[in-house]
């Protein structure tokens, strides 16, 4: 199974897309994230990727009410990221019906936390490996560390995490295609599955990602909102 996962990014209560994760380069696609989600559900989405962009930057989720409303409105699977830094937030999201929670920044700075949640929740936890120039980016991509993304992914695997979400931040929202070389290199370096994100622009991009061993899905954002990809056609792949 290869999952096609539409993204609904939430900033200040609106559905937006950022260019390369830059908060001063946003495009608002809907004033209602719920209606944006409904669009993809109506077109057949089985999974959806919800991002609290305010939370990713601030360190605590600021759009929980919006996320809860979306998750409770549709009978599909949801994964949530952005500002997930405490056990309380994780448990709240699972309590809302979220299928998978993605931890980013805290996974970089707190190995014990990662080990604890990986052991407790198993494959319901994923870690976001967000790479800028091959280095791990944190805090809503506003800070780039000295940590090599591939080395970090291996460490995450050793901590018991069952899945990673890999994003090349330079490709995100740029509609220039994924960084296939980095994706394949990372997939070959670990033994756990990954979901690819960032730059997916065409059906051919999806087909190429599907051929990479270890990649079991992709997150699509701007290409759907701009009409570059038809969700129905993507789901047929």
Tell me the residue range of the domain where 36 lies.
3-236
* 6 token code pair: 């539409």
Helix (H, G, I), strand (E, B) or coil at 124: helix
Q: What is the CATH number of the domain that holds 21?
A: 3.20.20.70
Task: Return the pLDDT at 132.
Answer: 86
Q: Report the chain's mean pLDDT, rounded to a whole number.
A: 91
Determine the average pLDDT of the residues in 88-112. 95
- Are the C-beta atoms of residues 17 and 9 closer than 8 Å to each other? yes
Q: Which listed residue (9, 52, 168, 205) is catalytic?
A: 9
**Would you call 130 a catalytic residue per the annotation?**
yes
User: Domain tally for the chain?
Assistant: 1
If 0-12 CB within 10 Å is exposed, 13-18 middle and 19+ buried, where does residue 60 land?
A: middle
Q: pLDDT, tens digit, for every residue of 55-86?
A: 777 777 888 999 999 999 999 999 999 989 99
Q: From the candidates 12, 52, 130, 205, which is the catalytic residue?
A: 130
């Amino acid at each position: 199974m290869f999952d096609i996962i539409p993204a609904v990014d939430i900033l200040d209560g609106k559905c937006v897309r950022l260019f390369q994760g830059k908060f001063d380069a946003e495009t608002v696609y809907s004033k209602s994230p719920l209606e944006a989600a409904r669009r993809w559900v109506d077109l057949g989405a089985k999974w959806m990727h919800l991002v609290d962009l305010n939370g990713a930057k601030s360190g605590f989720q600021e759009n929980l009410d919006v996320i809860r409303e979306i998750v409770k409105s549709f009978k599909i699977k949801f994964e949530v990221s952005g500002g997930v830094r405490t056990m309380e937030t994780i448990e709240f999201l699972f309590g809302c019906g979220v299928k998978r929670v993605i931890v980013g920044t805290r996974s970089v700075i707190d190995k014990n936390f990662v080990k604890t949640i990986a052991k407790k929740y198993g494959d319901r936890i994923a870690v976001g490996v967000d790479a800028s120039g091959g280095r791990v980016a944190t805090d809503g991509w506003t800070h780039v560390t000295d940590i090599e993304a591939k080395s970090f992914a291996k460490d995450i695997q050793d901590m018991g995490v069952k899945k990673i979400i890999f994003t090349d931040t330079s490709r995100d929202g740029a509609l220039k295609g994924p960084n296939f070389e980095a994706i394949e290199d990372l997939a070959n370096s670990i033994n756990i599955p990954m979901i690819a994100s960032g730059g997916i622009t065409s059906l051919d991009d999806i087909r190429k990602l599907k051929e990479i061993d270890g990649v079991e899905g992709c997150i699509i954002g701007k290409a759907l909102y701009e009409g570059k990809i038809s969700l129905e056609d993507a789901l047929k792949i």
